[in-house]
Amino acid sequence: MRRFWLLAFAAAFGTAIVQAAPVQKCDLCHAKPGFKKVLPDKHVVSLYVPPDSLANSVHRRRECGDCHRDVTEIPHKQNPQRVDCTTCHYIGNLVGAPETAIYEQYRESVHGRAALAGNTKAPRCQDCHGAHDVRVPNAEGSSLSKKNLAHSCGRCHVTVYAKFAMSVHGKLLEQGNPNVPTCTDCHGEHTIESPEEPSSSVFAANIPNTCSRCHAAEAIVAKYGVSPEQVNTYKESFHGIATTFGSKTAANCSSCHGAHEILPPNDPDSWIYPANIPKTCGKCHPEANANWAKGKIHVDASKKDAGIIYYVANFFKWLTLLTLTGLAINIVLDLYRRVRGHRKA
């Protein structure tokens, strides 16, 4: 009966007062495929909402007005404000929404800070999770599924996505390989920070630890003929030690292999293809030449295949041990002599 009087009121005055904006009323306009709005700059904005988008989403039990709370009449004369997801999604909410701290994390992220600063292009919840078709992240059709995530980020980061799509990671991901990383595996999800921030997972000094999450896991990399020892050999190298102590100029994984454009070593376009190594190393070492590509890069000094480095390392190891042993014996004998002399006195 209440709905009848609302419709009757709308028929009489041309406007229907809305409480929780039922989907059926909104569909009168928004379910029309050609429904759109032309902005003053001639840009066309589609206002079409597929009828089944909300029904197939995690919000299937919600009404339009639950999110569009500023829409109080139909047709609405004012443009609705952008939906604020935190009206429901917060710790202690009473509507059954997930209770996590991701919204606080987002506000502190590079995206959240940009949005709070007034950047209209900064992504908000809807830009990543979807507007009316929000799905569980691991669902096949979700914009945040493992396979679709890079494409979702690529809507804004076009150039980066183009490089990633052609990389060894991007190609394997497109094939549905679950072991390769996508954007959030390296940059984080709601905690994305600028690479210049020391707390960022892609800050220069943190990149080796970020890459090692996969490349130090033998169960993952062994499937593709990649040795997990490369992580340790890097950390024990001059570059690795300098990076561990916070150097931002020492070479890290991405300095040699690239960041988004990583390719196999046998690919002529790879930064570590033998013909390209002088150019790659030359970014820091101007004197780099073709001879730099002849030696082994990731060297484990504890193995004989390291060549002369193995023998030099062993020489200095035993020299150090024998020197320290001799020093310890000398100290013990000196103490013994002093104690014996003291007793005689």
Task: Mean pLDDT check: name the lowest of 14-23, 53-62, 88-97, 320-329.
Answer: 14-23
Among 260, 177, 272, 264, which Cα is nearest to 234's? 272
CA atoms within 13 Å, Cβ hemisphere of 80? 19
Asked if residue 133 belongs to a domain, the reply is: no
Give which of 229, 230, 224 is closest to 168, Cα–Cα. Answer: 224
pLDDT on residue 229: 87
Mean pLDDT value across residues 5-11: 40
Say if residues 216 and 261 touch (Cβ distance below 8 Å): no
User: What is d(CA 12, CA 35) in angstroms, rounded to the nearest whole number?
Assistant: 25
Query: In this structure, is residue 268 part of a structural domain?
Result: yes
Residue 185 lies in a domain: no
Same domain (yes/no): 209, 281:
yes
Within a domain: 256: yes
* pLDDT score, position 18: 41
Tokens at 4, concatenated:
């009848």
Residue 212 to residues 126, 228, 229, 261: CA-CA distances in angstroms?
A: 32, 8, 10, 18
Tell the residue number behind the tokens 């206002």, with chain if given: 47
User: Is the pLDDT assigned to residue 11 strictly greater than 50?
Assistant: no
For 247-290, the pLDDT digits (tens) are 889 999 999 999 999 999 999 999 999 999 999 999 999 999 99
State yes or no: pLDDT of 7 exceeds 80. no
Domain boundary among 81, 108, 130: 81
Give me the residues paired with residue 37 across strands: 45
Give the integer Cα–Cα distance in Å for 82 and 127.
Answer: 11
**Cα separation values, 260 from 164, 283, 331, 333, Å:** 5, 18, 56, 61
Same domain, 219 and 252: yes
Residues 320 and 263 in one domain: no
One domain, residues 267 and 324: no
Model pLDDT, residue 15: 40
Instruction: Read off the pLDDT of each residue in 237-254 and give the average, rounded to a whole number.
Output: 91
Q: What is the per-residue pLDDT for 94?
A: 86
| 207-221: average pLDDT | 92
Give the closest residue to 188 by CA, choosing from 206, 201, 169, 171. Answer: 201
In a shared domain, residues 14 and 43: yes
Q: Domain for residue 173, yes or no?
A: no
Residue 36: CB atoms within 10 A of its CB come to 11
Q: How far apart are CA 298 and CA 306, in angstroms?
A: 9
Condensed to tens digits (0 to 9), the pLDDT of residues 93-115 reads: 888 888 888 888 999 999 999 99
Question: DSSP 3-state assignment of 44?
Answer: strand
**Beta strand 16-17 with 73-74: parallel, antiparallel or unpaired?**
antiparallel
Residue 21 is predicted with a pLDDT of 55
Shared domain for 221 and 295, answered yes or no, is yes
Do the domain assignments include residue 86?
Answer: no
Q: Mean pLDDT, to the nearest integer, of 122-133?
A: 91
Q: Any bridge partners for residue 45, and if so which?
A: 37
**pTM above threshold 0.75:** yes
Residue 7's domain comprises 1-81
Is residue 288 domain-shared with residue 320, that is, in the same domain? no
What band does 16 get if pLDDT is binned at 50, 70 and 90? very low
Q: What is the DSSP letter of 272?
A: T
Q: Do 294 and 206 lie in a common domain?
A: yes
Higher pLDDT, 15 or 277: 277
Lowest mean pLDDT among 147-151, 298-302, 304-308: 304-308
What is the share, in percent, of the chain residues with pLDDT greater than 70? 94
Closest CA to 119 of 127, 129, 130, 111: 111
Answer yes or no: is 92 within a domain.
no
The reply to whether 262 and 239 lie within a common domain is: yes
Shared domain check, 337 and 255: no
Q: How many domains does the chain have?
A: 3
Handedness of CA 168, 171, 175, 178 (dihedral sign): positive
User: For all residues of the chain together, what is the average pLDDT?
Assistant: 87
Q: Specify the pLDDT at position 3.
A: 43
Boundary (domain end) residue, out of 81, 108, 123: 81
Query: Which range has the top average pLDDT, 36-40, 66-70, 164-168, 306-310?
Result: 164-168
Domain boundary among 33, 51, 81: 81
**Mean pLDDT along residues 214-241:** 89
Token pair belonging to 280: 């790659």
Asked if residue 295 belongs to a domain, the reply is yes
